[in-house]
Amino acid sequence: MRRAVGIALLAGVLHTGALAGQAVPQGSQADRVDLGYRRTPTLRFDPFRHLMIPHWGFVMSFGARGANTALNLSDLGALLKIDSDDELLAGDAIDVLGLIPRGTGLAFSAQGEGGFYLGGPLPGGLAIGFSVQARGFGAAQFDDDAVALLRDGNGARQEFSLGDSRGSGLASADYGAHLLLRLGPVYSVDGPRITLGAGARIVRPVAFARARSLLDNGGRVLVTGDSLVANIQIQSLHTPIDGFDAGTAFGDRGSGLAADFLVRLEWPTNGIALEAMVANLGSVTIDGVERRTANISVATTLLDSLINVLDTADLAIQDTLTLDLTLPRVVRFSASAWANSILQVDVAATLPTGGEFPAPLAVDIGTTWRFIRTLPLRAGVILGDNQGVGFSGGFAIEGRVLFLQVSGQSLGGLFKHATGAGGRFELGLFF
């Protein structure tokens, strides 16, 4: 099935011949689509997503995506079935551990956002938009060096560590404004139109959590038939959940500023666009972060001694601090072209990020089919990211007074075989 979808997409693209330089026939669907809607939406982070809509109005939107590297939807369905009709047993946990791929460990990532946008075009090629969003990022990585002991035991290897295991999560409330300036065409009537975008968002942290090893390479765990050695230091940072209330969360947890920039070049008659976006530049200060540490240092020949150490190991409160957290920077390069009068092809590469919320390179290849100009149908392939190959699809209604967009992703496989999923819903009303 996955192969069939891929071949169909590829055939749709290739039968049109070379993409570059393909002129958009006058009067075609492609020619009549507003430039604002030619910017294909993404399920990834995009602060400019609604700013190009050519009408004043507001848009309510929410979306989420989550993925892991081990369990697919059938596995999750199996766990639900066992939990509802029987009981999840230790052996089931052993089976689940067996699904964690050797060499890569177990990784989770999730993000979600939802909020409101109000904006529209201004005279002079300007557009302005105001947005209020609730956002959440989460990522966790259990290094294979740590998972291997639970998954395989110590028959083949005896030395383990936490490796690069870590996890972080940040929930925030953002509000800000973004501005677009459209220039051109330059040089000639067929010359490129340049769109410059910039904006800023106030970021209010709501909750934050992080856990990681404090020792290089994740410390050391040695398990042999003769000795047990563990030298591990774990640090956790989190904003306390006890006594949580909205007032405290939005008012007293700190603040930050994020900046977003966009440059887009479009050749409307050729149907080609290039874009670069750098977003989420900035940091947030989080107050009242509780820091806890746990040290486990034991070298023994007795299993009981190790158990005693683990029994008494606590994540002891060290102090409470104010944390300056660099936001996960998003750098994305996109290109799109009209393959023919109804098909637009997009390629976007989101560069890998490190730091608090690491993510590998992800490439989205999308197609938009406009058999009816205001009813685009979308299908695409996702490469890279945490889960390899994925698929996306969706549709939209781009009316004068109504804007509706629904899209979904099947990550790491198709449907039952997917190890991740995403979805987004947007509803706009225009004046």
Partner 1 sequence: MTLKTEHHILRSVPNTPLHTMRPGRPTSAPALATAGLLLIAALGCEPGSVTEARNQLNRGGERIFSLILPVTIDSAVVDDFLEGVNDTVVNGVLGVPIDQQSLSVPVIPSFLASNPVPVTAVDFAEFEDAVRDATIASSPARLRFTNLNGQVATLSNVVIGVVALNPDGSIPVDGTGAPVYDTTGAGVPRTLGVSDPGSAVITVAVGATSTIDVEAAIIVDGVVDLILNGNRPAVVVSGDGAGPLGGFLSVTIDMVALFDFFLPPEGVVLNSNTTQAGAELDTGDADQVADRVSLASFIAVATNRTAFRVDVEIAIAEGDFGETDVFGVPGSVVISSFSLDAGTVDVTGVLTAPIVDTVTIALTGAQTRPLLGDLFTASTRITLLPVSANGRAVIRPTDVVTFNARAALTIVTGEKQ
Distance separating alpha carbons of residues 152 and 145, to the nearest angstrom: 11
1: contact with partner 1 by CB under 8 A: no
Q: What is the footprint of partner 1 within residues 214-243 (CB under 8 A)?
A: 223-228, 234, 236, 238
CB 343 within 8 A of CB 323: no
Residue with smaller CB distance to partner 1, 89 or 402? 89
Distance separating alpha carbons of residues 265 and 78, to the nearest angstrom: 48
Least distance CB 409 / partner 1 (angstroms): 11
Distance separating alpha carbons of residues 403 and 405, to the nearest angstrom: 7
Q: How many chain residues are in contact with partner 1, going by CB under 8 A?
A: 77
Q: What is the footprint of partner 1 within residues 71-90 (CB under 8 A)?
A: 73-83, 85-90
CB 393 within 8 A of CB 374: no
Cis before 54? omega within 30: no
Q: What is the footprint of partner 1 within residues 258-297 (CB under 8 A)?
A: 290, 292, 294, 296
298: contact with partner 1 by CB under 8 A: no
Residue with smaller CB distance to partner 1, 223 or 375? 223
Distance separating alpha carbons of residues 253 and 244, to the nearest angstrom: 11
Q: What is the footprint of partner 1 within residues 42-71 (CB under 8 A)?
A: 64, 66
179: contact with partner 1 by CB under 8 A: no
Q: Which residues pair with 281 in a beta bridge?
A: 259
112: contact with partner 1 by CB under 8 A: yes
349: contact with partner 1 by CB under 8 A: no
Least distance CB 92 / partner 1 (angstroms): 6
322: contact with partner 1 by CB under 8 A: no
Distance separating alpha carbons of residues 288 and 179, to the nearest angstrom: 34
Q: Is 343 helix (H, G, I), strand (E, B) or coil?
A: strand
Least distance CB 296 / partner 1 (angstroms): 7
Convert 20-43 to b/e letters by CB count within 10 Å (16 or more is b): eebebeeebbbbebeebbbbbbbb
Q: Parallel, antiparallel, or unpaired for β 193-213 and 220-223?
A: unpaired
Distance separating alpha carbons of residues 3 and 389, to the nearest angstrom: 11
Residue with smaller CB distance to partner 1, 238 or 264? 238
Q: What is the footprint of partner 1 within residues 364-423 (CB under 8 A)?
A: 415-416, 421, 423
Residue with smaller CB distance to partner 1, 26 or 320? 320
Residue with smaller CB distance to partner 1, 9 or 171? 171
Which one of residues 217, 297, 301, 320 is an interface residue with partner 1 (CB under 8 A)? 301
Least distance CB 51 / partner 1 (angstroms): 24
